[in-house]
Amino acid sequence: MQLICESDNLQDYLEETTEVDYSDPRIGELVERLTTASRSQEEYIRHAYEWVRDNISHAWDIQSTRVTCAASEVLEFGEGICYAKSNLLCAILRRAAIPAGFCYQRLTLGDEPDTGYCIHALNAVYIASLNKWIRLDARGNKPGICAEFSLTEERLAFPIREAYGEFDYPTIYAQPHPQTIAVLRQHTNSLTMYQHGLPSHL
């Protein structure tokens, strides 16, 4: 699939916002640790991605009712759904001056189409040495879900099943989609939100 940038200006993919609040000192400390452990920009991107994927729990996986949104909040509590985790990964990348954005998929909420549909969030990051964008899904691995860092082939959490009406949105958004942020801001119970409050389309 050909990814389409919402903006032609890479600077738009470095902006700090309410949700991507990378000036937070805790995010700065994490970025410093990841930078120290990385020998190249590509290695930093991999470390950042794997850190969010593996160290921030998906709220549904741990059956937590807490709703997190801003990157600093996700880091503080160590949990969030995909919308929240993508905010944190974006913040960690942008704090290191690496352009990053947001991508979305329309997936079945359960295993079959009759369970309904939901919008799933992931990130795109610009690889300067290759002059290209790649998508990364920091949702979190578990049995049946195995997303990995790769510069050559996508290894996302959820391969699209076209026969089930699933599809990728090709746009790389500079900011999280307003619908995803509205969902996080309007709910106080993440389990109820996950089952009944996620948007089905953008």
Q: What is the Cα–Cα distance from 109 to 3, expressed in whole angstroms?
A: 24
Q: How many CA atoms does the CB half-sphere of 91 hold within 13 Å?
A: 30
E-state strands within 51-116: 57-58, 79-80, 100-108
> Cα–Cα distances in Å, from 109 out to 52, 67, 115, 150?
23, 18, 6, 26
pLDDT at residue 200 in the model: 94
For residues 171 and 102, give the distance between their C-alpha atoms in angstroms, rounded to a whole number.
8
Are 156 and 122 spatial neighbours (Cβ–Cβ below 8 Å)? yes
Q: Which two tokens stand for residue 178?
A: 């307003």
**Average pLDDT per run of 10 along the chain, which is 202 residues long?**
95 98 98 97 98 97 97 98 98 98 95 89 97 97 95 94 95 97 96 94 93
Whole-prediction pTM value?
A: 0.96
